[in-house]
Amino acid sequence: MPRRFAILALGIWPGLAQIWLGQEVLGIILAVVFAIALDAAVAARFVWTEAPSPASIQMLGSIALLNWFASFAYTLWCTLFRHPGRHKTEIDRLFRESRDAYLQGRWLDARRGIETILIRDEGDADALFLLGTIYLRTRQANLARRAFLQCLETGRGEKWRWEIERALPGQGAETGSARAA
């Protein structure tokens, strides 16, 4: 629960919460548009008072305010409705079903379940690890490598390092150097 409050606090400045949630491009766009509109409105209002028309000053202020409101509303929506903690029981159920499908050799069903989990929580290390093993079983080594590396990049993926290094020969030095960087 405290993480939700931290995300809402970051939502005060447009873009910060989106960057924190892993939506870097959206966050940077929101932050840059807000900063430019706010800076331009403040400069036009208080520094270059004779240059712009009052309508353009009002338009710049409206863009900044609309950007702030939209960004905060999106952050609020993500925190209340899309947050992985809200879907924990559903994620757990889907993971158990996907694991069972994997153990029964129904790799397509297992992959679909895992992809549904990753839509709700893209940083789920267990789901990423299982997705990587599914890709290995279906002989999709490049996709497996990508899923395994993504698993290791999450803070919760370290517990799978040994298994990943065994599954991808020659991968140990690469993941170790990526971790150090």
pLDDT digits (tens, 9 = 90+) for 121-148: 777 888 999 999 999 889 988 898 999 8
Superfamily of domain 86-180: Tetratricopeptide repeat domain (1.25.40.10)
Say whether pLDDT at 107 is over 80: yes
- Whole-model pTM: value is 0.51
- Give 57-94 as a 3 state SS string: HHHHHHHHHHHHHHHHHHHHHHHHHHCHHHHHHHHHHH
Residue spans per domain, the chain: 2-82, 86-180
